Amino acid sequence: MRFLQLFALISLLTLLSAFTPQDRNRLGPMGQPQASPTPTPTPLPPPTVKMDAYRTAAARIIGAALTSDRAYSRLAHLTDHIGNRLSGSSNLEHAIEWALSEMKRDGLDNVRGEKVMVPHWVRGEEGLEMLTPVSRKLTMLGLGNSIGTPAEGITGEAVVVRSFSELEQLGERVRGKIVVYNAPFVDYGTTVLYRLQGASRAARYGAVAALVRSITPVSLQTPHTGAMQYDEAQPKIPVAAITIEAAELLQRMYDRGDRPTVRLKMEAKFLPDAESANVIAELKGTEKPDEVVLISGHYDSWDVGQGAHDDGGSCIVVWEAATLLKELGLRPRRTIRVVLWTNEENGLRGGNGYRDAHRAELAKHVFAIESDSGIYKPEGFGLAATAPPQVRANLQEIAKLLSGIGSDRIAASGGGADIGPMMREGVIGASLDVEGSHYFDIHHTPADTLDKISPQDLKLCVATIAVMAYTVADLPGSLTGD
Amino acid sequence: MRFLQLFALISLLTLLSAFTPQDRNRLGPMGQPQASPTPTPTPLPPPTVKMDAYRTAAARIIGAALTSDRAYSRLAHLTDHIGNRLSGSSNLEHAIEWALSEMKRDGLDNVRGEKVMVPHWVRGEEGLEMLTPVSRKLTMLGLGNSIGTPAEGITGEAVVVRSFSELEQLGERVRGKIVVYNAPFVDYGTTVLYRLQGASRAARYGAVAALVRSITPVSLQTPHTGAMQYDEAQPKIPVAAITIEAAELLQRMYDRGDRPTVRLKMEAKFLPDAESANVIAELKGTEKPDEVVLISGHYDSWDVGQGAHDDGGSCIVVWEAATLLKELGLRPRRTIRVVLWTNEENGLRGGNGYRDAHRAELAKHVFAIESDSGIYKPEGFGLAATAPPQVRANLQEIAKLLSGIGSDRIAASGGGADIGPMMREGVIGASLDVEGSHYFDIHHTPADTLDKISPQDLKLCVATIAVMAYTVADLPGSLTGD
């Protein structure tokens, strides 16, 4: 009996470890869910790297990261003084200038902005009102990339569906109406489809506008913005996020036969593309400077809140990792390249532009890390499911250096939106994985602010990225074991 | 060793039961904390009531309450179709008319509105902006009863304190400035003092306005309004609630020496007192109709959200309890009187007016219950600490009828704002106690909406109130054992 219980427990744990929340929420560029993660191949080959050689360096890095307040001070400047940073905004360009200037003061190498033209979507004034059966203002945020409404707004009867399949059943009956998607949060990758595709799928049946329940498990009348995408085959209609509270109110009224009508007003529009830049700084390698270990986050954010967790914190973390190594005199054999991506949120021009501009040297990118899941307690890295078993074995060995701070897990899959383009060209990529239970509470909201970031978690993320990047960049042999 | 461990555990549990979260958050009228609860006197005398005689009635009541959807439907009408209900608003008067009309249709006895004049405070347009070191809109809600600002607003340097004692240390250095109270939530009774007294205590030192961190443990940029009180000995200055996020932002800037300046604009003002009413309906007693068991909630709310948890849900619960008893043919010996109080939030005119109008019959009020802690899973009742031991023993005995739904606790103290005036005249009072861990997340916010109320919890609250009220009202002898 005891043996059976133990066996059942082990089976359960194995199952759970194969489907972590990170896996369920793993995303491709623009938030599309990726294919299910491939389980870690077992058994892995023995590691070819010698972790013991890096204990001293890891100790110095972790000690320094956990005792420095600089990363938090810089994140406070970025969030409190510069603020949120949508592509095309002056805030983003100020943030870029500030980082370039500070990175030079830090003495990092080859500090530069690499020009990228970015979409320049602006929200303008916007609002949503229920007109009947009662008059009430509803909290909303227009979705990024949406078109606006005429100045007088779009008024229509709200037809509320809980799923695309309910929409399909209604079909042409939504013509001339405003479709409200009230899909409860399952996981980000699943539920975000309503934000991405909701407008065009409703427009297909003649809807004149769409409203999407915010992609979040919780709400205190909290609207979540984020990118939407038009299907070019359908008419373009405006689309906005509403709060869980508003979606449930409309659902109740619709279910009771109240036939609620609402008026949506949005000034949203695109201005001409704007000039922006990926911010790049390096710690030049001593022996193989043309080989690159890339560490990155995205510098742009939505135009609400402070873009603290998403993704200003990650930018400060990867930058601090490089500066800390430089201060410690830990210059590795290969080059560590910090990249703060522009335009992840509504275009991915930074990630695509980098791939294009650096195509010739992509084969020399030995490893690329992206942090874009918020700054919470780091748990390790999510390694691309396609990574060779020898690389996985070696990274698992290196990650043991992080066991003392609990960030030594190499999960079965991972990657990132901005490093996606280069990964599709063969670069081995990974995400920084963090404890993610509250990320989607504040994601793309006015509540993504510095107070939500624990200074300790920020330090732990710096330590985790710095130890991993330094060790991989300094290996005498190759990560692939060749 | 085992014995000692057990002894320690029992001691700990005893200690915990004496200081429940309900006790820590127990409030007097207008939110002032009351004196610490007196522990239950032990041992209590044996009960004089015979609980077994009420098992059949309790079974019918619980069964009916748990299978009826009427309370939820009515709460949906109140919240979705009528909406929030500030004293003086047309919404509140519509709600009163609707309840009177429906209560008559239910066949309740002596349905009437008892006129009370109420304060008529209106919010008007309002807003808060940071001007330096950066320009940023800050989320706020003016506090109820506050005066407004001049049309151009009040602009001043923000001086941020974490406590009254930090304010006292600054003293006259806040003259001409705007005091920001950034006091973290300890418990409602403790922290609400900043909302109630913050303006006058800052005005004493010459501050020109005050901002108060919202009284809540959590925030997604969520402002919480609520009543403030002026000390007539000090100049009146306007005061508003800000979010935790805004308070922490101002704190960081103040600590860094950024000398943030803000501009507060509020149109808030009092209009002449308005006519309102306590809504009253009865189930007339068969043998002692002049003896009253009173069950109540307050019908007014703040002017944001829907006033669902605070306190529309309670009003529907006490009303439904009476209607359910009538339908079941359970007419007790004494009269059960339902009261939906007006103006609890910013004046307590309903509770005071009732005491004055019914002073002659207060001695015949054998028991008064108020529900005003939100509609969550009921846990029992908080009985006034001053209640005679025999009453406590009898209520504990009666509460055993509720053990099957888990609401059989008689806590060491309790009461309520609206029944406070009659309790001070000697009426024995109690609160409905509910699981309170999330009440202050949404209290006085735009997020106090119907979606936060579990239909099951609503049913359980109806059952709990109805069983208790019926049994006390039907006792052959007196509750006091005389």
Tokens of A468: 């991993």
Q: Tokens representing A463? A: 């330590």
B305/A445 touch (CB, cutoff 8 Å), yes or no: no
**pLDDT tens-digit series, residues B88-110:** 999 999 999 999 999 999 999 99
Mean pLDDT on A442-458? 98
**Around Cβ A77, how many Cβ atoms within 10 Å?**
15
Task: Give the mutation candidate from A140, A219, A220 for the B interface (greatest B CB count, under 10 A).
Answer: A220
Q: For residues B447-460, give the mean pLDDT.
A: 98
Question: Tell me, what's the pLDDT at B482?
Answer: 84
3 state SS of A8: helix
Section B42-63 average pLDDT: 95
Whether residues B442 and A220 touch (CB distance < 8 A) is answered with yes
- Please give the helix or strand (H or E) that residue A431 lies within, else none: strand A429-434
Identify the H or E element spanning A350.
helix A349-357
Q: Indicate if the pLDDT at residue B271 is higher than 60.
A: yes
How close, in Å, is residue B223 to chain A by CA atoms?
10
Active site residues of A: 344
Cβ-count burial of A433 within 10 angstroms (0-12 exposed, 13-18 middle, 19+ buried)? buried
- pLDDT confidence of A269, banded at 50, 70, 90? very high
pLDDT value, residue A186:
97
Closest Cβ opposite residue B222 in set A220, A253, A256: A220
Contact A447 B139 (CB under 8 A): no
Picking from A80, A139, A441, the nearest residue to B249 by CB comes out as: A80
Residue A194 buriedness (CB in 10 A; 0-12 / 13-18 / 19+): buried
Residue A320 has pLDDT above 80, yes or no: yes
> Has residue B229 got a pLDDT over 80?
yes
Chain B touched by A137 (CB under 8 Å): no
Of B93, B344, B345, B379, the active-site residue reads B344
B442 touches chain A (CB under 8 A): yes
Q: How confident is the model at residue A482 (pLDDT cuts 50, 70, 90)?
A: confident
Q: Is B133 an 8 Å CB contact of chain A?
A: yes
Task: Tell me whether B453 touches chain A (CB under 8 Å).
Answer: no
Q: Is the pLDDT reported for residue B15 higher than 60?
A: no
Complete DSSP assignment for A231-282: -TTS----EEEE-HHHHHHHHHHHHTT---EEEEEE--EEEEEEEEEEEEEE
> Does A129 reach chain B within 8 Å, measured CB to CB?
no
According to DSSP, the β-strands at A429-434 and A136-138 are unpaired
Residues of A in contact with B81 (CB under 8 A): 133-134
Structure tokens at B352: 């005071």
**Taking the model in full, what pTM does it have?**
0.91
Tokens of A462: 């710096």
Q: Do A446 and B139 contact (CB within 8 A), yes or no? A: yes
Q: How confident is the model at residue A23 (pLDDT cuts 50, 70, 90)?
A: very low
Average of per-residue pLDDT across A436-443 = 97
Contact A329, A283 (CB under 8 A): no
**A242 in reach of chain B (CB within 8 A):** no
In b/e form, how buried is each residue of A347-386, taking b as 16+ CB within 10 angstroms?
A: bbbbbbbbbeebeeebeebbbbbbbbbbbbbbbbbbbbbe
Q: Which has the closest alpha carbon to A158: A144, A143, A140? A: A140
Mean pLDDT of A106-116: 98
Determine whether the interchain pair B305/A221 forms a contact, defined as Cβ–Cβ distance below 8 Å.
Answer: yes
User: Is A384's pLDDT higher than 60?
Assistant: yes
Per-residue pLDDT tens for B66-83?
999 999 999 999 999 999
CA distance B437 to chain A (A): 15
The average pLDDT across B249-273 equals 98
**pLDDT at residue A40 is higher than 80:** no
In tens, the pLDDT along A421-435 reads 999 999 999 999 999
User: Which 8-state DSSP code applies to residue A419?
Assistant: T
Those residues whose C-beta lies under 8 Å from the C-beta of residue B146, and which sit 6 or more positions away, are: B199, B228, B238, B239, B240, B266, B268
| Pairwise CB contact (< 8 Å): B222 & A219 | no
Q: Could you tell me the maximum CA-CA distance found in chain B, to the nearest angstrom?
A: 73
Give the pLDDT confidence of A338-356 residue by residue, as tens digits. Answer: 999 999 999 999 999 999 9
* Average pLDDT along chain B: 93
pLDDT of B344 > 70? The answer is yes
From the CA of A350, how many Å to the nearest CA of chain B? Answer: 28
Residue B401, both tokens: 């009828």
> For testing the chain A interface, which of B72, B75, B221 should be mutated: the one with the most A CBs within 10 Å?
B221
Q: What is the mean pLDDT of residues B5-23?
A: 37
Residue A248, chain B, CB below 8 Å: the answer is yes
Whether pLDDT at A204 is above 60: yes
CA A369/CA A379 separation, integer angstroms:
14
For the stretch A231-245, pLDDT in tens is 999 999 999 999 999
Range A48-59 burial, b when 16+ CB lie within 10 A, else e: bbebeebeebbe
Contact state of A446 with B139 under an 8 Å Cβ cutoff:
yes
Nearest to A245 among B244, B245, B447 (CB): B447
- How many alpha carbons fall within 13 Å on the CB side of residue B267? 6
Considering only CB atoms, A252 lies closest to which of B76, B249, B441, namely B76
Residues of B with Cβ-Cβ distance to A446 under 8 angstroms: 139, 220-221, 245
pLDDT bracket for residue A26 (50, 70, 90): very low
The predicted structure's pLDDT at residue A431: 98
Shortest Cα distance, chain A CAs vs residue B245, angstroms: 6
Q: Tell me if B450 and A248 make a contact (CB, 8 A cut-off).
A: yes
B169, pLDDT greater than 90: yes
pLDDT of the residue at B125: 98
Contacts of A253 in chain B (CB under 8 A): 80
In a 3-state reduction of DSSP, which class is residue A339? strand
Task: With CA atoms as reference, report the closest residue to A310 among A453, A459, A463.
Answer: A453
Per-residue pLDDT, averaged over B468-479, amounts to: 98
Report the percent of chain B where pLDDT is more than 90. 91
Query: Which of A222, A445, A451 is nearest residue B248 as measured by Cβ atoms?
Result: A451
CB within 8 Å: B249 and A451: yes
| CB-based contact, A303 to chain B, within 8 Å | no
Report yes or no: B430 and B367 within 8 Å, Cβ to Cβ. yes
Pick the residue from chain A with its C-alpha nearest to B442: A220
What's the pLDDT at A274? 98
**Hey, is the C-beta of B257 within 8 angstroms of any chain A C-beta?**
no
Angle at A212 between CA A244 and CA A210, to 5 degrees: 140
The arithmetic mean of pLDDT across residues A450-470, rounded, is 98
H-run or E-run covering A321: helix A313-327
Among candidate residues B34, B44, B36, B14, the one with its CA nearest the CA of residue B387:
B44
Over residues B439-444, the mean pLDDT reads 98
What are the start-end ranges of the E strands in A284-400? Answer: 288-298, 334-341, 365-370, 378-383
The Cα of A472 is separated from the nearest Cα of chain B by a number of Å equal to 37
> What SS3 string covers chain B?
CHHHHHHHHHHHHHHHHHCCHHHHCCECHHHCECCCCCCCCCCCCCCCCCHHHHHHHHHHHHHHHHHCCHHHHHHHHHHHHHCCCCCCCHHHHHHHHHHHHHHHHCCCEEEEEEEEEEEEEECCCEEEEEEECCCEEECEEECECCCCCCCCCEEEEEEEECCHHHHHHHHHHHCCCEEEECCCCCCHHHHHHHHHHHHHHHHCCCCCEEEEECCCCCCCCCCCCCECCCCCCCCCCCEEEECHHHHHHHHHHHHCCCCCEEEEEECCEEEEEEEEEEEEEEECCCCEEEEEEEEEEECCCCCCCCCHHHHHHHHHHHHHHHHHHHHCCCCCCEEEEEEEECCCCCCCHHHHHHHHHCHHHHHHEEEEEECCCCCCCEEEEEECCCCCHHHHHHHHHHHHHHHHHCCCEEECCCCCCCCHHHHCCCCCEEEEEECCCCHHHHCCCCCCCHHHCCHHHHHHHHHHHHHHHHHHHHCCCCCCCC
In this complex, is the C-beta atom of A308 within 8 Å of any C-beta atom belonging to chain B? no
Cβ distance of B220 and A441 shorter than 8 Å: yes
